[in-house]
Chain A
Amino acid sequence: MTAGAPAQLKPASDVPTLVVDSVSVAFAGIKALSDVSFTVVPGSIHAIIGPNGAGKSTAFNVLSGIYRATSGAVRFGDDNLLGLRPHRIARLGVARAFQNIALSKGQTVAENLMLGRHALTRSGFLTSGLRLPSATREALVHGARIREIADFVGLGDKLAKPAGMLSYGDQKRVEVARALACEPRLLLLDEPVAGMNAEESTYMAALIAEVRRELGISILLVEHDMGLVMGISDRVTVLDFGRLIAEGTPAEVQDDPNVVRAYLGTGEDDNGERGR
């Protein structure tokens, strides 16, 4: 077993393009997504926005293999992600930070981050149970990388704490750190600043920008905080009722009449009150 032997990671330059090609998802006849297409350029920050129920989370669940699309294709480089089980997608370098924190609260921050290394390591029951040298070496090598990542997101001093004991903002950062621990080529961030106070949210925005600058990976982001989205995104895709209604740079999207209508309504059927 060569587990944990130091070697080169694929350089960030091989970050592939993510192409979402007319994907539709239906639940019992209700269309959650219809014919949605967009492209995430390597190394870019791409945001998906839209009102509640627009299909943003559905899109994420399709990308990480939790929902099956009824039609369409999702290409990540040469691989088609549709039809792959979640762990296969993870192994292709797609990592996700969850909106409603999905950490193991009883385990320490370090253990939670080590879970992110699952696909990169290979000790099984026997190697860990007997503490064979390969398991020990793996724990050392990957533990060192975990500390780097924890320092990077500013959690270096909290590694030994149970994840459930951290503040909400810190737990959200552990989520991001755990996704980073997968050494992703595409990072899916599901509402990374939801529920955060202004200070935590500024920190997170800086962190996201830093991840892109340092690692050069693609970041796909679902977020309601328009300040964050418009501030850091390269491109924005807008969904409404499962359909794509606009796509472009933050400035283009902000002025798009469809987007304004989706968020504020036309007012035409609201007792004659005019929308702005």
Chain B
Amino acid sequence: MSSALTARLRRVRVGTACRIILVLILAVLPLYLDNALLQTGLFSMAAVVGAIGLTILTGAAGQLSLAHAFFLAVGAYSYSYYAGVKDPSGASKAHGLGMPPVLAMILAVATAGVVGLLFSPIAGRLRGIYLGVASLSLVFIGSFIYENARGLTGGFNGRPATEFDLFGFHFGQDNPPLTVLNVVFGRFERLWYLFLALAVLAYIFGVNVLRGRMGRAMQTMRDSEVAAATMGVDIRRTKAGVFALSSMYAGLAGVMVALAFTRVTPDYFILPLSISYLAMVVIGGLGSVGGAALGAVFVTALPTLLSRYSGSLPFVAEPASGGYDAGKISAALFGVAIVFIVIFEPGGLSALGTRITRRFRRSKTEGPATEPKRAMPRSGTVTRTQEDPV
């Protein structure tokens, strides 16, 4: 028993150490990367946050959603509405509330959550693929709103997103100036650290939720709704709650996208975005937070990396040359990756990772089996709580 426990502790510690090293590597990267790569990194980290939200909903709770693009839009537009001000030149009709960006970010995430909850009469009653079809409608309703609610969204041309600042430290400009090891920390470097912090927090929160009480409830709900309900899980409430949580993740991802683009435009939040989020969580391994992060980086960074190195890679045409450019090739690669994963490794990148680490780890010795004891006290330890959870 104790040997099994120490083995388990050691494994946890090794895993934690690997993750800390990864974060440290990510933390020094801005010293070496150019702006184009930094921008790819920013979009990747935004996608990491969004994909974690989707893998909790689709992977862990088994609820398909095609509305992720819509909730990214809710986050992005509400951030720029809360933090933005009316364009003095009058070029855009969009107005705003002029709040501090931190507050605007928090409120934007909350707004995405509230909009997700408004959908709960549907999200709480439908299962799996049926929710996927119903949620599709949100993407199209969204497109209509983005183009027509000009006061909020700026219409077809979108609206600028206010740069982020934290207690006078600006992330969108060189104010105050900052130089680390002879590298001038401009917009991309600053945003990199902000995004890294947000992605790490989103990761930790997601892992904790899945390990906790609601995580168990949603995974059992995915495996058998009847069993979960009979064990005391309020199915409708849990489904609605997971949907809202996933919307909040998407909302935060939307804020990050707005900050990275410095602009929110309607043509970004369309159905293919929802589909690429599904590709991320499938490639990463459904229900795995770490897998979703890997899948997000893979899907987001691959097209830019391919086009950047298109000159030196075979078969990759120059962008807009009419041949098979990076965009087309990476779309094909995602398709191939998904087919391979579904057939050979349904657990995705995360299961692949587990398999590799297991090969390196020596087989662990089993602790001695304990004799079954036959004495159960009349459970004097725990009280029955009356109120509903969540």
Contact = CB atoms under 8 A, between A and B. Distances in A.
Nearest to A91: B232
A111 interface: yes
B176 interface: no
Given A120-B385, A121-B385, A123-B212, A154 B372 contact: yes
Contact of A107 (B216, B370, B372, B373): B216
A118 B232 contact: yes
Given A3-B385, A118-B216, A86 B226 contact: yes
A145 B232 contact: no
Give the one of B206, B217, B226 with max A CB within 10 A.
B226
A68 interface: no
B27 interface: no
B106 to A, nearest CB: 14
Contact of A128 (B209, B224, B380, B382): B209
B214 A152 contact: no
B180 interface: no
Contacts, number: 183
Nearest to B242: A125
B376 interface: yes
B380 A156 contact: no
Contact of A124 (B235, B369, B389): B389
A87 B229 contact: yes
B231 A6 contact: no
A167 to B, nearest CB: 14
B389 A121 contact: yes
B312 interface: no
B316 interface: no
A249 interface: no
B216 A115 contact: yes
A87 B235 contact: yes
B373 A129 contact: no
A90 B382 contact: no
A96 to B, nearest CB: 5
A261 interface: no
Contacts of A130: 205, 208
A156 B373 contact: yes
B378 A11 contact: yes
B376 A122 contact: no
A83 interface: no
Contacts of A139: 212
A64 B230 contact: yes
A115 B220 contact: yes
Given A8-B383, A122-B389, A102 B213 contact: no
Interface in A129-188: 129-131, 135, 138-139, 141-142, 144-145, 148-149, 151-157, 160, 178, 182-183
Contacts of B387: 122
Interface in B200-219: 205-206, 208-209, 211-217, 219
Interface residues of A, number: 73
A71 interface: no
Q: What class of interface size applies to chain B in its complex with A?
A: 35 or more
B382 to A, nearest CB: 6
A98 interface: yes
A10 B381 contact: no
Contacts of B228: 115
A66 B230 contact: yes
Contacts of A116: 231
A45 interface: no
Nearest to A123: B213
B383 A151 contact: no
Contacts of B233: 87, 115, 118
A182 B232 CA distance: 8
Given A87-B234, A160-B4, A9 B378 contact: yes
Interface in A102-118: 102-107, 111-112, 114-118
A223 B376 CA distance: 25
Contacts of A214: 375-376, 378
Contacts of A154: 372, 374
Contacts of B296: none
Contacts of B389: 118, 121-124
A148 B234 CA distance: 26
A156 B208 contact: no
A241 to B, nearest CB: 25
Contact of A151 (B227, B241, B372, B390): B372
A86 B220 contact: no
B355 interface: no
A4 interface: yes
A9 B376 contact: no
B13 interface: no
A125 B216 contact: no
Contacts of B10: none
Nearest to A131: B208
A238 interface: no
The 8 lowest CB-CB distance pairs between A and B, nearest first, are: A128-B212, A119-B232, A154-B372, A102-B227, A90-B232, A86-B229, A7-B383, A152-B376
Given A66-B230, A104-B219, 12 more contacts: A9-B384, A12-B378, A87-B229, A87-B234, A89-B230, A114-B216, A115-B217, A156-B372, A157-B370, A160-B8, A183-B379, A210-B374
Interface of B: 4, 8, 205-206, 208-209, 211-217, 219-220, 223-224, 226-235, 241, 245, 367, 369-370, 372-385, 387-390
12 contacts: A7-B382, A10-B384, A85-B229, A85-B234, A90-B231, A105-B223, A120-B384, A121-B389, A122-B387, A141-B381, A148-B376, A160-B4
